[in-house]
Amino acid sequence: MARIEWSDDLSVGNDLLDSQHQKLIAMINTLDNESASAEELGEVIFGLLEYAAIHFRDEERFFVDAAPEIVEHHFASHTIFISTAYKFVQRFQNGEALALRQPVYEFLCKWLVEHIQVEDMQYKDAAKGRAAE
């Protein structure tokens, strides 16, 4: 699977949120390392969950004002992500460890890119529309 690369078409028009997306992408890309130990993998998975929670909090604060019409659906999408990621953590703790590296990597790449391109873009467009009013 190709590594995710940041590009301007992933920009949501907010510097803080863009830099958090860039950091998440960099963290996810560290999973693309076949020689990672189980311990390293665990650290990345836990770190990602922690950082995703911070990002979601900041993003939700932003779009509650900028795009109230998307709040309900977007909250739900973040919640589903956290519960899916948490299931990976449980599987990791139950001993699957290194066998999870590839599935976790693929899930995160696909989820994050699709989420930014589709759902996060909705608040960018809504904020733009409001600014133009």
**Interface map 21-60 toward Fe ion (x if CB under 5 A):** --------------------------------------x-
Give the interface segment with Fe ion, choosing from 61-69, 79-87, 95-103, 118-126 (CB under 5 A). Answer: 118-126
CA dist 33 and 120 (Å) reads 28
Rounded to whole angstroms, the Cα distance separating 31 from 87 reads 17
Which x/- pattern, by CB under 5 A, does the window 73-112 give for Fe ion? ----------------------------------------
Q: Which of 28, 120, 124, 127 binds Fe ion (CB under 5 A)?
A: 120
Q: How far apart are the first and last CA of the chain?
A: 42
Determine phi and psi for 12, rounding to 5 degrees: -100, 10
Question: Contact at 8 Å (CB) between 112 and 4?
Answer: yes
Nearer Cβ to Fe ion, position 59 or 109? 59
Closer Cβ to Fe ion, 21 or 101, answer by number? 21
Q: Determine the Cα–Cα distance for residues 49 and 68; give it in Å rounded to an integer.
A: 25
Footprint on this chain of Fe ion (rule: CB under 5 A): 59, 120
